[in-house]
């Protein structure tokens, strides 16, 4: 039987993948056509393409200064998002405690990244990116789901030990 938690995790991961693919599309379209206007470019202070095109839109703004512009890790943040949400989707298909721990740790890291990027978004770029904020919400939802999954994995493990 499929749990509601599994369905919510699946939907959150699919939403995260869709948002990340859209962000990548916007970034690549803007790179090839400077006149491109994305649906998420609502007005000057609410422009996702401006955020994606900034120095913080690739490698979290950290890879280039630390490892150089040509580093294989200096890719659009949306690629990291696609990988993260796909990995969370795959881990969600398993039902062991190790996978639950990994999902929790990855979700915790994604929320830390969201706080970092949110700070940059609001206080450095002075922008409001609807796509970015949506991914922050998805990351928070995945953290809550991962915590619940981890706790229930621990409880089911405790029940197995008691039976033995």
Rg (the chain; Cα; Å):
18
Position 73 confidence tier, pLDDT thresholds 50, 70, 90: very high
Average confidence (pLDDT) over 13-19: 98
Q: Which residues pair with 43 in a beta bridge?
A: 46
CATH second-level architecture of 1-158? Up-down Bundle (1.20)
pLDDT at 162 over 80: no
Sketch the domain layout of the chain as residue ranges.
1-158
Position 152 confidence tier, pLDDT thresholds 50, 70, 90: confident
Average confidence (pLDDT) over 63-81: 95
Residues 6+ apart with CB under 8 A from 155: none
Task: State the pLDDT at residue 3.
Answer: 82
């Amino acid at each position: 039987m499929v749990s509601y938690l599994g369905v919510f995790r699946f939907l959150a991961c699919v939403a995260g993948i869709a948002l990340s693919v859209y962000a990548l599309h916007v970034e690549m379209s803007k790179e090839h056509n400077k006149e491109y206007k994305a649906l998420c470019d609502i007005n000057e202070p609410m422009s996702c393409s401006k955020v994606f095109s900034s120095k913080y839109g690739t490698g979290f703004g950290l890879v280039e200064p630390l490892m150089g512009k040509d580093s294989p890790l200096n890719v659009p943040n949306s690629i990291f998002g696609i990988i993260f949400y796909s990995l969370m989707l795959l881990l969600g298909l398993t039902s062991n405690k190790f996978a639950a721990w990994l999902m929790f740790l990855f979700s915790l890291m994604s929320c830390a990244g969201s706080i970092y990027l949110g700070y940059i978004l609001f206080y450095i770029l002075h922008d409001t990116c609807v796509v970015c904020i949506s991914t922050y919400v998805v990351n928070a939802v995945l953290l809550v789901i991962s915590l619940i999954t981890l706790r229930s994995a621990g409880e089911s493990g405790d029940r197995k030990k008691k039976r033995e």
